[in-house]
Amino acid sequence: MSDLVELGNAVGTAQKVGNLVGVFAFGVSGALLAVRRNFDVVGIAVLAVCTATGGGILRDLIIGETPPTAFVHVSYAATALLAAALIFFWHPPHRVTRTPLLMADGVGLGIFCVTGTVSAFQHGLPATSAAALGVVTAVGGGVVRDVLAGITPSVLSDGELYAVPALLGSAATAVLLHHGQYTYWTGGLAGAGAVVLRFLALWRHWRAPLARPHRRRDPA
Amino acid sequence: MSDLVELGNAVGTAQKVGNLVGVFAFGVSGALLAVRRNFDVVGIAVLAVCTATGGGILRDLIIGETPPTAFVHVSYAATALLAAALIFFWHPPHRVTRTPLLMADGVGLGIFCVTGTVSAFQHGLPATSAAALGVVTAVGGGVVRDVLAGITPSVLSDGELYAVPALLGSAATAVLLHHGQYTYWTGGLAGAGAVVLRFLALWRHWRAPLARPHRRRDPA
Amino acid sequence: MSDLVELGNAVGTAQKVGNLVGVFAFGVSGALLAVRRNFDVVGIAVLAVCTATGGGILRDLIIGETPPTAFVHVSYAATALLAAALIFFWHPPHRVTRTPLLMADGVGLGIFCVTGTVSAFQHGLPATSAAALGVVTAVGGGVVRDVLAGITPSVLSDGELYAVPALLGSAATAVLLHHGQYTYWTGGLAGAGAVVLRFLALWRHWRAPLARPHRRRDPA
């Protein structure tokens, strides 16, 4: 029994560490985009922080948890600023950063979709809405990043399977919560499933389908 | 008397049906824009939902009604996703969809400007602010749609009379509420007035004026 | 003693006047950008109001002060609409408006970073977060303006020292609050310091550094 408790605590710690890994990865992705868009040092710092905390802030505003967690615990912004500082001084070429960044981002995606769903459910939202907010938590930061950087949000347009793993992880978490079966273990499994699915999608180049294209484009 | 009550209930039902008609129309407009921008299936679904629920979510966040109605009642998102699925599989040419879409969108505009104003007033906002939030409810979804799709919000720039009918409908509703004269009937009249004005503007090509143009453009 | 109280009241009045000066300046900057982007009269009004009130609304949503101050006190929106009307009928060339606009905007920046920090601190946020929200208050309106107008937010990308003075003013205010030394006087000093720093940056062309550029651009 006490072995299980210890293991449970270890999983809780793993979740906190994973959370910061995700924040760091999202921060790096924001800072890298800012550098590519020729933003100044302020833009790099702001884009790193907004990417890393944007999803969670959106979720907290929607469930009425004010001030949002990211404004109460300084560790989030500090981790994102660390990522920004690293990228400001050392922004290695795309071919070096691509794989580790995708992996860290995938881990963040898996963790955020679970923790986001749990937060929302604990605030009394129905399971369906909680799952939707898990997706908002996981992909919202990237949307904020892209809107601030003036590009079309990649999650909406680039055809990669990015929101779908988050949706499945969130849905699994919501089902667990709804049936009272959510524990660190089952929640961890849901998150790991999302991460594995994301990695499989990257590895096997799975694509989200596009609608059959128009023959003639209408003016937007 | 009981005839009037029955009629009142019928109006209430009409309002609910109209609400979903508006949500559906806004969902279609989001999905169509996503298809035109070559978004993938995730982008189409997200843009449909955000367009249909964005205005109401913004209003609810501002008046402190958390979680927003659109996260509590699944019917909103489900209706918008239905619109997205329809457009994903069948996106007919612009000349076929244009008129029914404009009509449904106009009905949604008229209903949302009234219901948005009422929500805000019931939360204790002064009548002027309630009217402003009615406009936010009616046009906010379209602004969210255009920002996410990476185009300039059409309500700000295309010169069509779109926000003005919403403003007049909201203002009329706020005046009714302020003087204690708001009923299903008078509110329905305010909304119908906004719809009629919107249709007249489309039919007669009424335009919102632009400022006298600069002779020489300053760099933005 | 009563002289000091009178002087304190005078400072309080100066703050209110300064607040409206800032709102007016931000409103003008929004309206001018809308005119340059060829927006119609609705776009000019909306952009003026969103620029003038956007930072404060963001702050209020984050600290859970709903409805936001800008929706309770009509004077904010009215001042911004006055700015919009002025620019709609009379939008003088850039060379005439540039200097007074920069000065008014700088005064607004200094006042908003202080008042934003104070609001957040009074809502129980830790001093660090309160300072962050001071910056959000001061620069948020400009970010909303640029996103709605479809341009890259100037505070992130143009290399001007704009957020840095706001950050220093907010940080100074947060330190004062944390140590119980905040008064109209010391707060006024913090704000004046931000304004002076902003003016110095404009006058001496101080720039925020960019990251060392990539040799080869990666696709965004």
Write out the DSSP string of A38-99. Answer: T-BHHHHHHHHHHHHHHHHHHHHHHHT-SS-HHHH-HHHHHHHHHHHHHHHH----HHHHHH
C153 touches chain A (CB under 8 A): yes
B91 touches chain A (CB under 8 A): yes
Tokens representing residue A169 in the block: 């992880």
Cβ partners under 8 Å of residue B22, min gap 6: B104, B105, B107, B108, B109, B111, B112
Q: Which of A40, A58, A63, A154 is the best substitution to test chain C (most C C-beta atoms within 10 A)?
A: A40
In a 3-state reduction of DSSP, which class is residue C41? helix
Please, which chains are in contact with C (at least 3 CB pairs closer than 8 A)? A, B
Neighbours of B120 (CB within 10 A): 31
Distance CA B116, CA A199 (A): 43
Query: Rounded to 10 degrees, what is the CA torsion of A110, A112, A116, A122?
Result: 80
Q: Which of B36-40, B197-201, B209-213 has the highest mean pLDDT?
A: B197-201
User: pTM of the predicted model, to two decimals?
Assistant: 0.89
Residue C47 region by backbone torsions, left for phi larger than 0, else alpha for psi between -120 and 50, else beta: alpha
Contact B77 A125 (CB under 8 A): no
Cα of C90 to nearest chain B Cα, Å: 9
Counted across chains B and C, CB pairs separated by less than 8 A come out at: 94
Contact C67 B211 (CB under 8 A): no
Cβ partners under 8 Å of residue A148, min gap 6: A46, A47, A50, C143, C147, C153, C156
Contact A37 C132 (CB under 8 A): no
Q: What angle do CA C66, C70, C76 make, to 5 degrees?
A: 170
User: C-alpha B86: how far from its chain's center?
Assistant: 20
Tokens representing residue A172 in the block: 């699994």
Please, which chains are in contact with A (at least 3 CB pairs closer than 8 A)? B, C
Contact C46 B163 (CB under 8 A): yes
The closest CB to that of B88, out of A133, A157, A211, belongs to A211
- pLDDT tens string A16-48: 777 888 899 899 999 998 988 889 999 999 999
B214 touches chain C (CB under 8 A): yes
pLDDT at residue C219 above 50? no
The pLDDT mean for chain A works out to: 87
The closest CB to that of A157, out of B37, B64, B66, belongs to B37
Residue B14's pLDDT is what?
A: 67
User: Using an 8 Å Cβ cutoff, are B141 and B26 in contact?
Assistant: yes
User: Using an 8 Å Cβ cutoff, are B72 and A125 in contact?
Assistant: yes
The pLDDT mean for chain B works out to: 87
Residue whose token pair is 């290399």: C159
User: Using an 8 Å Cβ cutoff, are C106 and C202 in contact?
Assistant: yes
Contact C42 B155 (CB under 8 A): yes
- Choose among C108, C172, C171: nearest CA to C141: C108
pLDDT at residue A90 above 90? no
Please, which chains are in contact with B (at least 3 CB pairs closer than 8 A)? A, C
pLDDT at residue A220 above 60? no
Cβ partners under 8 Å of residue C146, min gap 6: C33, C152, C153, C154, C155
Residue C91's pLDDT is what?
A: 74
Distance CA C9, CA C12 (A): 5
Least confident interval from A133-137, C1-5, C114-118: C1-5
Cβ partners under 8 Å of residue A204, min gap 6: none
pLDDT > 90: percent of chain C: 59
Chain B residues touching residue C143 (CB < 8 angstroms): none
C81 touches chain B (CB under 8 A): no
- Answer with the residue of higher pLDDT: C36 or A146: A146
Q: Quick one: three-class SS letters along chain B?
A: CHHHHHHHHHHHHHHHHHHHHHHHHHHHHHHHHHHHCCCEHHHHHHHHHHHHHHHHHHHHHHHCCCCCHHHHCHHHHHHHHHHHHHHHHCCCCHHHHHHHHHHHHHHHHHHHHHHHHHHHHHCCCCHHHHHHHHHHHHHHHHHHHHHHHCCCCHHHHCCECCHHHHHHHHHHHHHHHHCCCCCHHHHHHHHHHHHHHHHHHHHHCCECCECCCCCCCCCC
